[in-house]
């Protein structure tokens, strides 16, 4: 089938403009030709995006018209924006349109290339694989665009990325704890589970115990009224545990058990835990079945065992930090609101308190 005719037939089918006989023939064609069916699915998605974009644009246009009319009638007053404030306003006003338009432009390009590839007389499996990869790339670009549309402005410095890992809140005012070895650069960015980025500074760093306390100092950060977990010093051999961390750019859950009350070569600073963990998990919380934090996950040894810094040293770090009047307001989470929840619900609550930590030069 000629590619132009295929596109025309697809649009007529989706808009209900085919006769009954044409519709039956076209549906039979889709059933017997998976390539045509795939093109139909992608074309349907594309048309829906166009319709959504049009509806959003019309709605925003109507809102601006109403705002302008009310302003002219003196019902509301609009401040006069100048300089940087005006640029920020213009960006916030048009960023959604820009992102959606970019997504649609990309989809048009991919669909055109895909149809040409699939229906070319010299088509091959390589063409189909390329089309699949391109569509996946579009999905990833749209996910990134959605983060920007939702108002999250990236704060990644214009500098090389040096090291990274995981951190978690120990005080809802923005105090995080992580491993000292995670912090090898001078600029620290903490990213939450929604993709929102915050600038943070190092309050204290203990290389011997491999822990560090950070403070998010960013006007976009909203303090937490309370943390869902508490910090607990009591542990029991063989008790079930779980961790949450960022070995990649999205949070990963792992579970296991406490296998030893001492760490590598009987080190009393750490526990040994039986759990799967990658380097990016360093600095993540280790929690027991009640949702209490009992440690901070740290590096593996050469033998493959995994260790966690004991929660006792979280208490010690905070006590030492409070001696500095600049940090006298820090207070460890003392209540546990997830103790009686099932594991899935505990994880949902803890999610928002665990951050991806990246360190830049």
Per the CB < 8 A criterion, the answer to whether 200 and 356 are in contact is no
Decide: residue 151, CB within 10 A, 0-12 exposed, 13-18 middle, 19+ buried: exposed
Residue 199 burial by CB count (10 A; 0-12/13-18/19+): exposed, middle or buried?
middle
Rg (CA), the chain: 27
φ, ψ (nearest 5 deg) of residue 200: -135, 160
pTM: 0.60
Q: What residue ranges do the domains of the chain occupy?
A: 3-149, 156-361
pLDDT (tens, 9 = 90+) of the chain, 361 residues, equals 456 666 777 777 777 778 887 778 777 777 777 777 777 777 777 777 777 777 777 777 777 777 767 766 666 766 555 555 555 555 555 555 555 555 555 555 555 555 555 555 444 555 556 555 665 666 556 555 554 444 455 666 666 677 889 999 999 999 999 999 999 888 999 999 999 999 999 999 999 999 999 999 999 999 999 999 999 999 999 999 999 999 988 999 999 999 999 988 888 999 999 998 887 899 999 999 999 999 999 976 667 789 999 999 999 999 999 999 999 999 998 899 999 999 999 999 999 999 999 999 7
What is the spatial distance between Cα 217 and Cα 199, in angstroms, rounded to a whole number?
6
Cα–Cα dist 357/273, whole Å = 23
User: How many CB atoms within 10 Å of residue 301?
Assistant: 14
CATH of region 156-361:
2.40.10.120
- Nearest CA to 262 among 211, 314, 307, 305? 307
């Amino acid at each position: 089938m000629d590619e132009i005719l295929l596109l025309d037939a697809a649009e007529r089918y989706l808009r209900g403009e085919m006769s009954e006989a044409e519709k039956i023939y076209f549906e039979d064609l889709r059933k017997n030709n998976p390539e045509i069916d795939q093109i139909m699915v992608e074309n349907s998605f594309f048309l829906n995006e166009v319709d959504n974009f049009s509806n959003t644009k019309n709605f925003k246009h109507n809102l601006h018209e109403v705002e302008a009319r009310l302003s002219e009638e003196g019902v509301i007053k609009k401040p006069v924006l100048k300089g940087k404030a005006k640029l920020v306003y213009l960006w916030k006003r048009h960023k959604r349109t820009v992102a959606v338009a970019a997504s649609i432009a990309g989809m048009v390009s991919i669909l055109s290339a895909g149809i040409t590839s699939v229906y070319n007389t010299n088509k091959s499996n390589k063409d189909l694989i390329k089309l699949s990869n391109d569509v996946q790339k579009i999905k990833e670009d749209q996910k990134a665009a959605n983060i920007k549309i939702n108002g999250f402005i990236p704060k990644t410095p214009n500098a090389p990325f040096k090291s990274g890992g995981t951190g978690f809140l120990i005080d809802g005012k923005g105090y995080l704890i992580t491993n000292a070895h995670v912090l090898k650069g001078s600029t620290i960015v903490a990213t939450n589970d929604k993709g929102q980025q915050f600038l943070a500074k190092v309050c204290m760093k203990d290389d011997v115990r491999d822990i560090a306390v950070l403070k998010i100092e960013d006007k976009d950060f909203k303090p937490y009224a309370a943390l869902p977990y508490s910090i607990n010093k009591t542990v029991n051999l063989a008790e079930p545990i779980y961790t949450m961390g960022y070995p990649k750019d999205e949070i990963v859950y792992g579970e296991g058990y406490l296998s030893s009350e001492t760490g590598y070569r009987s080190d009393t600073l750490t526990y040994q835990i039986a759990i799967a963990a990658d380097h990016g998990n360093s600095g993540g919380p280790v929690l027991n079945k009640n949702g209490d934090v009992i440690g901070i996950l740290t590096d593996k040894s050469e033998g493959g065992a995994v260790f966690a810094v004991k929660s006792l040293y979280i208490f010690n770090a905070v006590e030492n930090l409070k001696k500095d009047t600049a940090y006298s307001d820090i207070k460890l989470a003392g209540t546990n609101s997830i103790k009686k929840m099932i594991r899935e619900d505990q994880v949902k609550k803890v999610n928002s308190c665990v951050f991806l930590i990246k360190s830049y030069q």
